[in-house]
Amino acid sequence: MSTREDSLRYCNVAGDEVTTTWDLARAHDIVDGLPVRIPPSFRRQRSYPGLFWASTHRRMLVYESLLELDRLWLADFDPTVERIATQPFEVKSGNGLDAFKHVPDIMLVEADNTVTVIDVKPEGFISKPAVKAQFDRTRSLCRTKGWNYEVFTGGDPVELRNVRALAIGRHRERIPPEHVQEARVALLSRSVALGDAIARRPASCEENMWRVAVLSCIWFGEVEADLRVPLSARTILSPRHQAT
């Protein structure tokens, strides 16, 4: 449960540190800011930090591990997500043996203002008492603000491979607008197999560009496909309004 001792520190969009109480902190101020810490990089480290460009709001995000990168791919592909932040804030309370300090890995804000705070951890670590206590405390704090809390231990490897394959279509500014519109016309009238959609390439469009335009319609949620199985020419693409 949140108390007056719970403080929250974040960096605003200008890079200035802001310290406030947990109760007064606003998700939109945090998610539009900069990381409260930068993951270190050093020789022989076991994790693989790096940078991820999010098409959701066209900004670069830092990540601490490949597992965290997996969760970022899923967030960037999710059409309901409007804002993503990594290392978004530090929450701190108490002192001595009762001290608590934690920086969650990811924060998401959806179009309906739903907020989700995510901690990323390999499955083998989440049963450790210290880790469990940290997650339980963070979950309780999030509940006081009406925020969702998630512990991500890994995604479906088939879905992740599919999302990465579709990511070629997330740079829509690189696709001629007329080709995007032609792809919409080909895909939004009825369900069609991916191979058939690609075969409907207009004579005016180069083959690889047409493929990217079709995949872009999947990436941006205009059509849906079952990503639990590997993408193939037989994959059925359905207009979103027809999905059940």
Tell me whether residue 2 is in a domain: no
Residues 108, 229, single domain; the answer is no
Ranking 4-13, 81-90, 132-141 by mean pLDDT, the lowest is 4-13
pLDDT of residue 243: 41
Query: Mean pLDDT in the chain?
Result: 91
Q: pTM of the predicted model, to two decimals?
A: 0.91
Cα–Cα distance, 154 to 68 (Å, whole number): 9
**Helices (H), strands (E): how many in the chain?**
7, 13
Same domain, 122 and 48: yes
pLDDT given for residue 235 in this prediction: 96
Last residue of a domain, one of 85, 120, 152: 152
Contact (Cβ atoms closer than 8 angstroms) between residue 78 and residue 162:
no
Q: Are residues 135 and 191 in the same domain?
A: no
* β-strand partners of 106: 86, 118
Q: Which of 82-86, 125-129, 154-158 has the lowest mean pLDDT?
A: 125-129
Same domain, 89 and 133: yes
pLDDT band for 23, please (50, 70, 90 cuts): very high
- 234 and 134 together in one domain: no
In a domain, 14, yes or no: yes
When pLDDT is averaged across residues 14-18 and rounded to a whole number, the result is 93
Instruction: Return the pLDDT at 240.
Output: 82
**How far is residue 160's CA from residue 167's CA, in Å, rounded to a whole number?**
11
Span 25-38, average pLDDT: 94
State the maximum Cα–Cα separation within the chain, in Å, rounded to a whole number: 71
Mean pLDDT of 167-177: 93
Count structural domains, the chain: 2
CATH code (residue 21): 3.40.1350.10
pLDDT interval class at 244 (50, 70, 90): very low
Residues spanned by the domain of 43: 7-152
In angstroms, the CA 203 to CA 134 distance is 58
The CA distance from 10 to 225, in Å, is 38
